[in-house]
Amino acid sequence: MRRVLLSFLSATVLTIGCGGTPTSPFAGGATINGNVVGAGGSTGMNVGVVGGGPSTTLGSNGTFSLTNVRAGDVSLEFKGAGVNSRVSLGPIERSEQVTVNISREGQNFVVDCIKRHGHDKVEIEGRIDGLPPLTPPGTFTIAGLNIQTNADTQIVKGDAPATFGDLAIGMRVHVRGTPNPLGVLAKIVKIQNTNVDLGVHLEGTISGFSGTILGFQFMLGGKLIKGDATTQFDDGLTFAALADGVKVEVKGQLKLGFIFATKIEPD
């Protein structure tokens, strides 16, 4: 499964839905706050900076925090329970605040969304998950974070200029801008990947279930999930077993305002 990158200001830091006590010789370095989605079986797994630096363990909710990370190209390594996986976060500056959402599928860890924020700038990379009419005109969201554009915002695809109308749900973009009370005002939006059919993987407890096999929906981790007769059920789970309180894993496609479930299996 591939993931695109999202969810992650008191004074200059916003949290995007994104244990242990890390130590490091690089005092005054960057701080990385992370959240691993699909972290079932990952609690207690070690996560650390490749090449030396702080390390810690994943908490029961999949979160971790690393402080005093040395500036430069940073990769994280996840180890434990037969897993040894690395993910690249790219270049990180001294004293930067970094928030990252990472998804786990099997033995692999993939960056969904990464946000770097300093004193008066923000960089965020991830997949668009909201557009008008679900958002105000000229705005879109990445992992729920509001990205605003105006007449001065540059939108590009490769080396060619693009427009707001070229943006689509599921596109991976890189945004540079400035923080404000509503989110981020984008100076530049770079379209990185126009493949909007990349998968989504969620797990959690069903609530608000309604419908029939021909068309049903429920909430999972704050996300609206919809399915129909084409949705597959696996590992002994059947449609009849869907109900509030049931724990499931959902694989699907991001749509405008919801996730369409292509496969549902027990968690």
What three-state secondary structure class fits 151?
A: coil
Count the residues in the chain. 267
Same domain for 213 and 145:
no
For the stretch 209-256, pLDDT in tens is: 999 999 999 998 778 999 999 999 988 899 999 999 999 989 888 887
Same domain for 242 and 225:
yes
The pLDDT tens digits along the chain (267 residues) read 333 333 332 222 333 343 333 333 445 689 999 988 765 556 678 999 998 889 999 887 788 999 999 989 999 999 887 788 898 888 888 888 899 888 877 777 888 888 887 667 888 988 898 899 989 999 999 988 899 999 999 999 988 999 999 999 888 899 999 988 998 999 999 998 777 666 777 888 999 999 999 999 999 877 899 999 999 998 889 999 999 999 998 988 888 788 899 999 997
Q: What is the pLDDT of residue 121?
A: 82
Q: What is the pLDDT of residue 93?
A: 85
Q: What is the pLDDT of residue 77?
A: 92
Q: Tally the domains of the chain.
A: 3
In a domain, 164, yes or no: yes
Q: What is the pLDDT of residue 156?
A: 96
Same domain for 210 and 183:
no
What three-state secondary structure class fits 241?
A: helix
Q: Do 128 and 142 meet the contact criterion of CB atoms below 8 Å apart?
A: yes
Q: What are the DSSP calls for 159-176, one per residue?
A: TEE--GGG--TT-EEEEE
For the stretch 85-115, pLDDT in tens is: 898 888 888 888 899 888 877 777 888 888 8
Q: Do 12 and 262 meet the contact criterion of CB atoms below 8 Å apart?
A: no
For residue 133, say if its preceding peptide bond is cis, omega within 30 degrees of 0. yes
CATH code, domain carrying 205: 2.40.50.140
- 220 Cβ partners below 8 Å, 6+ apart? 202, 203, 204, 205, 206, 207, 248, 250
Residue finishing a domain among 193, 223, 251 = 193
Of 220, 172, 236, residue with least CA distance to 199: 172
